[in-house]
Structure 1
Amino acid sequence: MNQEIINRLAVITDEEREIINGRTEIDRKRYTEGQELVIDSKKMLEHGKMIRIRPHTRFVHFPRHKHNYIEVIYMCQGETTHRIDGEEVVLKTGELLFLNQHASQEILPAGERDIAVNFIILPEFFDTAFQMMGEEKNLLRDFLVGSLCFDPRYASYLHFQVADVLPVQNLVENMVWTLLNDQPNKRSINQVTMGLLFLQLMHYTDKISHTTESFDQKLTFQVLKFIDENYKDGELTELAARLNYNIYWLSRAVKRLTGRTFKELIQIKRLNQASFLLLNTRLSITDISVAVGYDNTSYFHRIFRNYHGMSPKEYRDKNLSLPFPEGKR
């Protein structure tokens, strides 16, 4: 992260100065008026605001607490140790930690050079990110759904070990910079940036760790990860062989866990990828059909229309204003 940003976040806050001067625990009134330590968004956010950043409070043990908002922590420098629903998570430089509203968190004392920034975010801020992610099932979408409905079946946290992923680092830095400098239109800018961040993170499922899963959660993740990586030609027989499950049992399990058949999940992934290619490349519709796994262009046209209510050409024309060269449609 840019050193100027780190220097601004590293400044000793009034709260930290009180701790240095002898306070041995956090001042609960800074965070809540209630008896239980549930950090209140009304204490953290100005009226009408949906997102804010603040430096993580150092030098003190932060006792077990919950939030009535979604918290995202980015480690700018150093590391912090968190206990989330009894699991220990060490957040290192360049890594992201998403916390659900139902998660119980405890944080061990951080040193002066351990610089983390906390994003305090109301759930409605993520509306744009939802739209940008599309309707296919993925771990981030499920996480947000769990946050919105306080459903404990969903992951309590997502830990992204993405320090080596430059686009992710750039997007996080852009959000921090925009919020620190109070840039005009910062809400719209950051909602779109968060959507772009999620689209990037969706490509790095191998870099996610999260709450210890039940068998059903683990299987769902394995199925969706396989589809993400093999949507063009992936077969249920191949997945069953990889996981060493009976194909008929696996087929029923996929339907029970996702509400869709394996074939339907593959098709949704292909059509969402086709939509992305229509709007972000100049590939012909025939080339896009083949790229997502459909050699029969007529069949691709038919299922695309059934899914989107319009043909691929109509979808491209409606959603994209950039002109395309002759012969590329």
Structure 2
Amino acid sequence: MDEKLLSKLSVITEEEQRILDGNGGVEKQLYTSGEEFTVDSARMLKDGQLIAVRPHTRFIRFPMHRHNYVEVVYVCRGSVTNIIGENRITVRQGELLFLNQYTRHELLPAGMDDIIINFIILPEFFDVALEMIGGNNMLANFVINTLRQDGQKGEYLYFRVSGILQIQNLMENLITSLVTGTAGDGVVNRNRINQTTMGLLFMHLLDSVQSAESLNPDQYENMIVMSTLDYIDRNYPTASLGELAQNLKLPVHTLSRMIKRSAGGNFTELLQRKRLNRAVSLLVETDEPINDIIDMVGYENHSYFHRVFKARYGMTPHAFRKKNQEMKRIRIDGGNVKKM
């Protein structure tokens, strides 16, 4: 990894300095406002962010906790030991540990030379990666399981991939983008790049399953959710809960409850997310008229589409397209593509 980036990531934080000075331990109020130690994404992410990184707090045993987001632990240098139930997992340089939002774990103290990055990721960030890798594999199962609302479930995926150069390069690119990225006109485009980078990472990890260790809960309802997402992915312009229930030979009300319980949202919300993601791709990648795009993604009521689009992205489809077109022009200078 680039030494300048390592140097930036190894800087002692205010919390770590207080620990070194003997003025207390892990400051729970930095991570949560609740009585139970559940690290809150609202404390970790800015408005509109789907992913962020922060250096792991060193010099102290990090107490038992869980998250209401997906955490990915990546060791840039050194190592860190996680205790998950009866399992003790020492993640070493270049290795990855995926933890879903219900996995309770604690960490043994890390030292000055241990540089560990924690990725804070909301489940919807993985939409692009899922499209890239398809279903019926360990990473797709993991991502689907992050949507579960059963707080008693937990899962981790541990990848010993320090020797795979492509994975190390992708991790460095992703960390660099998140550490050096700033708010502004390029946020939406950068987020898409980061999502695609995660998809490429997933593809390489799937080629490294022999280096993986996992703990999986029951997958029954996961299979239903995966079938639902696959159906939406293939049929989003015309998809309906009734047709899906007929395909799966389940009563509509049973399927509806199962989806809501296991996916963290109802069928309509999942369908809307897919349609909006597709609309964004068409706005950015094509010159199709906006009204045609609205029809293509399955919205009959154009006014409703404009309302839900603005609610999610903070601007109209026209403004969104214009901003991304301007960013394309900025990135191209004399035929040379500038780095983001």
Rounded Cα–Cα distance in structure 2 between residues aligned with 1:111 and 1:149: 35
Does residue 185 of structure 2 align to residue 181 of structure 1? no
> Which amino acid is the alignment partner of residue 201 of structure 1?
L
2:16–2:59 CA contact under 8 A, matched in 1: yes
What SS is found at the alignment partner of 2:146?
A: helix
User: Given the alignment of the two structures, is residue 206 of structure 1 paired with residue 205 of structure 2, yes or no?
Assistant: no
Q: Which runs of 5+ in 1 are unaligned?
A: 218-329
Instruction: Tell me what 1:195 maps to.
Output: 199
Contact 2:96 2:160 in 1 (8 A): yes
How far off its partner does 1:48 sit?
1.0
TM-score after normalising by structure 1: 0.62
CA RMSD of aligned residues (A): 1.8
Q: Aligned-pair distance for 1:77?
A: 0.3
Q: Distance in 2 between matches of 1:23 and 1:164?
A: 40
Residue 151 of structure 1, CA deviation = 5.3
Counterpart-to-counterpart distance in 1, 2:133 and 2:152: 21
Q: Which runs of 4+ in 1 moved over 3 A?
A: 150-155
| Corresponding residue for residue 95 of structure 1 | 95
Q: Which residue does the alignment assign to 1:127? A: 127
Residues 72, 120 of structure 1: 8 Å contact kept: yes
Asked whether the equivalents of residues 146 and 152 of structure 1 are also in contact (C-alpha less than 8 Å), the reply is no
d(CA) in 1 for partners of 2:154, 2:50? 23
**What amino acid is aligned across from residue 147 of structure 2 in structure 1?**
L
Residue 146 of structure 1: how far off its partner (Å): 0.8
Match for 1:82: what amino acid? Answer: N
**In structure 2, C-alpha distance between the alignment counterparts of 1:52 and 1:23, rounded to whole Å:** 28
Aligned positions of 1:156-167 closer than 5 A: 156-167=155-166
Find the aligned partners of 1:9 and 1:202 in 2 and give their Cα distance: 28
Whether 2:13 is the aligned partner of 1:9: answer no
The Cα shift of 1:167 comes to 0.5
1:85 positional shift: 2.5
* Aligned residues of 1:72 and 1:118 also touching (Cα < 8 A): yes
Q: Deviations over 1:78-128 (max 9, x none)?
A: 000100123110000000000011100100110000000111000011111
- Give the residue type in structure 2 aligned to 1:53: V
Q: What is the CA–CA distance in structure 1 between the aligned matches of 2:53 and 2:172, rounded to whole Å? A: 12
Q: Distance between the aligned counterparts of 2:70 and 2:133, measured in 1?
A: 18
2:10/2:115 contact within 8 Å kept:
yes
How far apart, CA to CA, are the structure 2 residues paired with 1:86 and 1:63? 15
Asked if structure 2 preserves the Cα contact closer than 8 Å seen for 1:179 and 1:186, the reply is no
Native 8 Å contact 2:74 2:96 kept in 1: yes
Q: Distance in 1 between matches of 2:85 and 2:151?
A: 11
Verify the 8 A CA contact 2:71 2:99 in the aligned structure 1: yes
